[in-house]
Amino acid sequence: MQQQSKKTVLVYVFDGFADWEGSYVSAELNQSDAFAVRTVAPDRAPKRSMGGIAVAPDYALDDAPGEFAALLLIGGNAWLDPASGIDAVVPLVRRARAQGALVGGICNAATFLAEHGFLDECAHTGNTLEYVQQCAPHYRGAERFVEAQAVADDGIVTANGSAALEFAREVLRELGAKDDPDAWFKLHKDGFYPEAV
């Protein structure tokens, strides 16, 4: 029997991306039998994360694969600075939406999705409604904002910057990558020895 090829999950990286925000979900997906995580960046030059980790991108924006299962946008300050060139990823987000790929945005990446109209018609969250409104002047989805750590709706997962685990849980659930994403989340949130409060 021929082995089925893995589905590609693209993680967008750039200088200053918030490496920890994508670490749980990337590790879980890349260890699975069904998914392969690959990085895409504005170009092929190495990118250095906020934590100082250097990444050699698998793809530049202009040679990203035609089909993929998900596009994950990890936080960082560049999302709020159009002068950084971050808007170059918008066509890839549009392509993901058009082909039915899951789109995930955490922290400032969720704000970026709001600014570009991707959250106007779906339930979503971010770094507080006030923050999103302040940092995304073209945002028109305030009535759909949910005060939650992470929200999945209509093929989009959003999370605030304190919700790396919640973001991972919702992406894993949406992709069907874990039999019990809630049990996975509880283990990683509470640990082997939950602390008494």
Contact 139, 110 (CB under 8 A): no
Rounded to 10 degrees, the C-alpha dihedral 4/10/11/15 comes to 130
Residue 113, pLDDT score = 98
For 186, counting Cβ atoms within 10 Å of its Cβ (0-12 exposed, 13-18 middle, 19+ buried), the class is middle
Q: How confident is the model at residue 3 (pLDDT cuts 50, 70, 90)?
A: low
The pLDDT tens digits of the residues spanning 153-186 come to 999 999 999 999 999 999 999 999 999 999 999 9
| Both tokens assigned to 126 | 């971010």
- Is 107 an active-site residue? yes
Residue 195, pLDDT score = 85
Percent of the chain with pLDDT over 90: 96
The pLDDT mean for the chain works out to: 96
Q: Which candidate in 107, 114, 150, 152 is catalytic?
A: 107
Residue 147, pLDDT score = 98
CA–CA separation, 191 and 197 (whole Å): 14
CA–CA separation, 111 and 160 (whole Å): 9
Residue 194, pLDDT score = 86
The pTM of this model reads 0.96
For 141, counting Cβ atoms within 10 Å of its Cβ (0-12 exposed, 13-18 middle, 19+ buried), the class is buried
Please state the rounded mean pLDDT for residues 40-57. Answer: 98
